[in-house]
Amino acid sequence: MSRYAKMRKSNAQDILYLKPEYGDIITEISEYLQEEGMCAYELEKNREELVKTAKAAIKKEQSMEEALGCPPEEYARKKAGNMQEHQTAYERYIFTLERSVQVFCCYHLLLVAVVAASALSGGKDAVLLIPMSLTYVLELAVIPLVAWFLSKYFYQRLFHMRQKLFQILVYGGWLLLTLLINALIPGSHGFRVNLLVFLFMNAAAYLIARDLRELHFKKYTW
């Protein structure tokens, strides 16, 4: 296992066992720096430093802000301004793809729950089929591009609760845009997919996105 892989695994475990008020700040700073374009290896090195800072702060009974010497937002922006290595275009694509797949899987699970509940209420004539249409394909193609644009130009300028509020607004807007597309372009000539096949397709998409990320990270062999 490379130093990068060990560091990444160790960081994830350490953050998991930190008090929430410390671990959450580390996660927020890391997400901010990732959106700013910090490469994966430098991001993990910074997380490692933050974990050490958090552990020392806990021993001294300090807050994370006191240990950093400034508000977390200011710390993150200083780090972003002094990045040694930026993400490659492919690395940014991998992160964007993985995030998009995660969002779609959550949306699809909600869709599956609605269809399953509707079908089961139909008794013995229940049919577990997921409706597909041209509008659905358009949603898959257009909406991640909108979310990426918003993330690229606005997300990195936000922090803490504003960051979380922005996520809610983006995903809420995505759902509203989905409804609007369906209203303007009725999918009357669509088809249906078996629920189990649909779940399998989502699981496969998630695993492919995850494996692409892992394959990319293998380049960090030091």
- Three-class SS of residue 113? helix
Q: Are residues 149 and 213 in the same domain?
A: yes
Looking at the structure, tell me whether residues 126 and 44 fall in a common domain: no
Query: Would the pLDDT of 88 be above 90?
Result: no
Confidence category of residue 47, pLDDT binned at 50, 70, 90: very high
How many domains does one find in the chain? 2
Residue 107 vs residue 66, higher pLDDT: 66
Q: Where in the sequence is the domain holding 71, given as residue range(s)?
A: 3-81
More confident residue, 1 or 46: 46
Handedness of CA 79, 80, 85, 90 (dihedral sign): positive
Cα-Cα-Cα-Cα torsion 95, 99, 101, 103, nearest 10 degrees, comes to: -170
User: What is the value of pTM for the model shown?
Assistant: 0.64
Q: Calculate mean pLDDT across residues 26-45.
A: 85
222 lies in some domain: no
Based on the fold, state whether residues 99 and 194 are members of the same structural domain: yes
Are residues 169 and 103 located together in one domain of the fold?
yes
**Domain end position, chosen among 81, 106, 140:** 81
Asked if pLDDT for residue 11 goes beyond 80, the answer is yes
**What tokens appear for 159 in the block?**
């922090």
The residue among 81, 105, 139 that closes a domain is 81
| Same domain flag for 70 and 12 | yes
In a domain, 184, yes or no: yes
Of 50, 81, 112, the one marking the end of a domain is 81
d(CA 79, CA 73): 10
Backbone angles phi, psi at 114, to 5 degrees: -65, -45
- Is 131 a residue whose pLDDT tops 60? yes
Same domain for 137 and 29? no
Residues 210 and 115 in one domain: yes
In this prediction, residue 17 has a pLDDT band, given cuts at 50, 70 and 90, of confident
pLDDT score, position 34: 82
pLDDT of 141 above 60: yes
Q: Are residues 77 and 182 in the same domain?
A: no
Q: Quote the DSSP letter at residue 157.
A: G
8-17, 29-38, 82-91, 201-210: least confident range:
82-91
Q: Do 98 and 204 sit in the same domain of this protein?
A: yes
Residues 31 and 96 in one domain: no
Residue 138 has pLDDT above 70, yes or no: no
125 with 64, same domain: the answer is: no
Mean pLDDT rounded to a whole number for the chain: 75
